[in-house]
Structure 1
Amino acid sequence: MTNSKTQVEGKIGKRERLIDAAMRVFYEQGVEKTTIADIAREADVPVGNVYYYFKTKDQFVEAVIAGHERVLADTLATLAPLSGPAERLRTMVRGWVDQREMAARFGCPFGSLAVELDKRDDGFRGEPARVMGVLVDWAHTQFAELDRPDADDLAIAFVAAYQGISVLTNTFRDPELMVREGARLERWIADLAGE
């Protein structure tokens, strides 16, 4: 007989495994091509047990969007103690470049999901735009700390450069494109910071 604490921990662990699996499978296959059975298989959870945690694929999508938001929040928290805005921006770029092999295969993890969900009539209630807005707002703050009066435009250019190179890296299946754009972005940041 298990105690209630063990049962709760098991439920949390299984739910988190399902969310992690959904994040991977949605990224690799897309939402439309993914079945709940695909997610269950990836999470090593019997498909019948999945419905205890998630009744629909849309509930998985909600959890995956929240998962991406947590990953972004964790990333931004890791960058916060760095020496200044230019270093935070450069470190973000390096993180993107480090993921170039996956970008070559599947594109940007969140950008790909946002584009797919935007094709739905409801656009998934604007949730992808809200999460993407967190990154744009963070970039704006960095450029504003560099005393740039054009921080709004620079923030959009920064995020657009990453999303654009993710699409090209994926389209041409060429991770080197991400390396080249990362180097260009680092030079651009240094110029804007007057370094």
Structure 2
Amino acid sequence: MLKPSYPIRTPRLILRPFTPADLEALHAIQSLPEVTRYLYWDTRDLEQVREALEARIGESALLEEGQCLRLAVELAATGELIGDGTLFWHSSLHRSGEIGYVFHPDHHGKGYATEVGRALLELGFDGLDLHRITGRLDGRNEASARVLERLGMRREAHLVENEVVKGEWTDELVYAILQREWRARH
């Protein structure tokens, strides 16, 4: 079980639960084709974002396996919502989880995803005592692969034409890191 103490601070970011006030900023992110290009879902209109936000608001703790923790990511200096980070708790028996993140394109290439990924790995390993955490991504998403590599995760699989995403066969990459590897690095 994981009930983080909020807000979670990184050097430049604040991670916190989503609130209804995040609607417009989240819509500004989720309505962009360049944001959803490698995701399972397509761009969202305001009502679809409202529904997604309502679900996110309820995902601020991990009480049992199968749940996910979704955190709003804002710039500490300005309070601007720039993306989100997710920690999935897949199995208590296998102590496994997965991380993910999505950012507004204006904030790509600045190291924010790495900062969020580091915070999510800490939550998973230190807060939930996970043994193994993975990151899965579309094989074309080279920038996200570099983030996972910077976090010390190793590429364990390249699944060729593994899924149909938005009508197109895509490859899937799977990265992972074990708790002992994470601890050795930190």
TM-score under structure 2 length normalisation: 0.29
Query: Going by fraction, where is strand more abundant, 1 or 2?
Result: 2
TM-score under structure 1 length normalisation: 0.28
Whose radius of gyration is greater, 1 or 2? Answer: 1
The structure with higher relative contact order (CA 8 Å, sep 6+) is 1
